[in-house]
Amino acid sequence: MRQTLEAAGIDTIENVAVAGEGACSRRAVLADRLTRAEADLVTARECESRVSTIEPLLRALEQLSRYLQNNEFKHYLMRRRERHLLGVATDILRRMTDDRYAFAERFQILDGLTQQTRDARTLSGGEKFLASLAVALALVEIASQASEKLDALFSDEGFGSLDGAALDAAVAELAARASFGKMIRHHHPRP
C-alpha cells in the first residue's frame, strides 16, 4: 500500500488527509454535475417529446406555405368547388335527361348510352340548354345553402330549342325549385 501512496505522491499522513479532502471535494463536484446532468436529461427528453409532437404540425404548415406561395391552394379550392358544382349539376341533369347525361371533369359531358366523355359543344341545342340549366340550378342550390338570400332564378332563352319531353323535364325541374320557395321567372316570347 505504501508503494501505491508513494506513486500517487502521498508520502506523509498529512498528505493522505489532504488527498482525502480533495477526493471528497471532487466527489461532491462530480455528484453535483451528475445531478445537473440527470435534470438536463429529463429536460432534453421533454423537449424531444414536444418536438416530435410539433413536427407533423410544422410539416403541415410548411406544405400549406408552399401551396400558398404558388397558388396551389387556390387551385385546390377552385377544383374542389368545381367538383361540388358539377356533382349537384349532374344530379339535376340526370333527372332532366332520364340518366342519359352527367357532368365529368372540366364540364365535359358523360353520355350514359355510350359511356364516353365528350365535349359539351357536341350536344344538340336542346341538350346544351338542359346542361346550362342544370349548372344554373346547381349554382342557385349551392348559393342557397350558403346563404338564404338567393331566392330567385331568371331564365329567358333556350326553351324553344327543347322537344316536348325535354321541355316537360326542364319545366318539372323548375317547378321543383319553385316548390322549395324559389321564385322562377321565365320569359319566352312566342313567334
User: Domain spans of the chain?
Assistant: 2-69, 73-186
List the beta bridge partners of residue 103: 109
List the beta bridge partners of residue 186: 155
Is there a contact between 114 and 101 (Cβ–Cβ < 8 Å)? no
CA–CA distances in Å: residue 156 to residues 90, 128, 153, 185: 22, 15, 10, 8
pLDDT of residue 166: 78
- Three-state DSSP at 59 gives helix
CATH dotted code for 73-186: 3.40.50.300
pLDDT of residue 182: 62
pLDDT of residue 65: 85
Closest CA to 137 of 104, 98, 176: 176
- Three-state DSSP at 70 gives coil
State the Cα–Cα distance between residues 150 and 13, nearest whole angstrom.
103
Is there a contact between 5 and 16 (Cβ–Cβ < 8 Å)? yes
- Three-state DSSP at 117 gives strand
pLDDT of residue 21: 81
Question: What is the enclosing helix (H) or strand (E) of 46?
Answer: helix 13-69
Residue 98 φ/ψ region, left for φ over 0, alpha for ψ in the -120 to 50 degree band, beta for the rest: left
pLDDT of residue 190: 47
**How many other C-beta atoms lie within 10 A of the C-beta of residue 143?**
13
**pLDDT tens per residue across all 191 residues of the chain:** 667 766 766 666 666 677 678 788 888 889 999 999 999 999 999 988 888 889 999 999 998 888 788 887 888 889 999 999 999 999 999 999 999 999 999 999 999 999 999 999 999 888 988 998 899 888 888 877 776 565 555 565 666 677 778 777 877 777 776 666 666 655 554 44
State the Cα–Cα distance between residues 51 and 150, nearest whole angstrom.
49
pLDDT of residue 123: 93
Question: What is the enclosing helix (H) or strand (E) of 111?
Answer: strand 109-111
Is there a contact between 111 and 101 (Cβ–Cβ < 8 Å)? yes
